[in-house]
Amino acid sequence: MIHPTAIIDKDADIAPGVEIGAYSCIGDHVSIGEGTVIGSNVVIRPYTTIGKDCRIFQFASIGEIPQSLKFEGELTHLEIGDRCTIREFVTINRGTSEGGGLTRIGDDCLLMAYTHVAHDCIVGKKVIFSNNATLAGHIVVGDYATIGGLVAIHQFVKIGDYAFIGGKSAVVKDVPPYVIAAGDRARLYGLNVVGLKRHNFPPNVMAALKKAYRIVFRIGLTLNEAVERAYAEVEQTPEVKNFLEFITASGRGLTR
């Protein structure tokens, strides 16, 4: 059902079964997939694509232009995957030309109230953002990551798969996959053991990740020495390879 007070541009593509609440505004070149529910007083700006079966709560602002002084009105986009839940007062900005022109949110993500995702961020699938989590521009967040409440992440930072960022943290360097980081400035607190167990990581993978983590972060080797030793001594499961490849590819330096 589309409420009669909703304002929908003639060039918006609204799939069958979409619900749009009172006083919501849908701009031109917006695409909304089947089964998605838009609450009241939601603003969805041009060049935004929203997948199927999403739920967007009241007062969210989706696809607004970037908060970037370099933005000059160029054509850029926002893409949101299927089955995402976007709670009250969430703000998500579309991309900039210098950052690739695209902000993307993967499937099955939960963005709790007041989350902000800035321009050119790329967020994986099944990511959880707690209340007031804040992403600056050009951030990459891996699959299954959890970002705690009141977290601020610096621009260009990368967060690895299954990482957990504790509440009230300020993250200024890359956070490897499978770890816990917290604090101002954030530092590492070991593997995200609880999270990995909840996702049914097998014992051999848990043991291999623990060994790789210890070699890289706990015995005082240089980064190159640690990575070389981890490749030589640790079972090379896909998860361990992901962990080591993330570390060697880090551009901003690593949270430690």
The Cα–Cα gap between 142 and 144 comes to: 7
Q: Does 199 participate in catalysis according to the annotation?
A: no
Q: Does 29 participate in catalysis according to the annotation?
A: no
Contacts 24+ apart (CB under 8 A), 21-25: 21/58
Q: Are 39 and 45 in contact (CB under 8 A)?
A: no
Catalytic position from the list 82, 107, 120, 174: 120
- Put residue 201 in one of left, alpha, beta given phi > 0 → left and psi -120 to 50 → alpha: beta
Q: Are 176 and 207 in contact (CB under 8 A)?
A: no
Catalytic position from the list 51, 106, 137, 142: 137
Q: Does 53 participate in catalysis according to the annotation?
A: no
- Cα angle for residues 178, 139, 239 (degrees, 5° grid): 25
Tokens coding 27: 């701009």
Catalytic position from the list 39, 63, 119, 174: 119
State the virtual CA torsion across 129, 135, 141, 145 in degrees, nearest 10.
-20
Burial of residue 109 (number of CB atoms within 10 Å: 0-12, 13-18, 19+): buried
How many CB atoms are located within 10 Å of the residue 194 CB? 10
Distance (Å) of CA 79 to CA 39, 48, 106, 121: 19, 6, 8, 11
What residues are annotated to the active site?
A: 119-120, 137
